[in-house]
Amino acid sequence: MKKIAVLASGNGSNLQAILDAVESGAITGAAVTLVISDKLDAFALKRAAASNVPTKCFLPAEYSTREEYDGALVTYLQAMQIDLVVLAGFMRLLTPYFVAAYPRQIMNIHPSLLPAFPGAHGVADALAYGVKVTGCTIHFVDEGMDTGPIILQEALTINDHDTMESLQQRIHELEHRLYPQAIDLCVRGKIKLEGRRCLINDN
């Protein structure tokens, strides 16, 4: 059984989708054994507690540098024998040290069709730019900002009447379905990396 740690900073709706997928068997051969946040009031911590998943808070103010912060995170994750790190609204850019400690074992989700509209405001940026299609992307994490190899993507059409809130809600619905699928593929060893391409073999 592979051990998953989910890192979250906010509401944790993707965490909930992952927990539900483990419970239903949509994610097989793995379990969420740890939830970490950088904020004491993150609702994700309450979601974890409701599912009897251990939690831990690492507050950035208690560390002098990003490297020191990530060093503490990595030490703890390794002590907990974590196999896969899943970012679910974790609003921190990981340092090269963290990425090197878990090569191709860190996944993230982004609310746009990368490489379009990376960064913290993917939904708002897509809407403001006036694109007709957006979506969500699950990718492995590298040292850049939303630049890692893409595992899965799914598109949706932006409607003329879409607001920031309505578009975000529809993208969330995609995320909640696609993220567990990508995690399941990863823990079952169904993703092969060739250069930047993630090849899926789920036969």
List active site positions: 110
Distance, in Å, from the CA atom of 66 to the CA atom of 69, rounded to the nearest integer, reads 5
The C-alpha angle 16, 17, 23, rounded to 5 degrees, equals 90
Query: Which residues lie below 8 Å from residue 83, measured CB to CB, with a gap of 6+?
Result: 2, 3, 4, 30, 105, 187
Contact 36, 116 (CB under 8 A): no
Query: Which residues lie below 8 Å from residue 191, measured CB to CB, with a gap of 6+?
Result: 151, 185, 198, 199, 200
Is the previous residue joined to 115 through a cis bond, with omega within 30 degrees of 0?
Answer: yes
The C-alpha angle 30, 24, 49, rounded to 5 degrees, equals 70
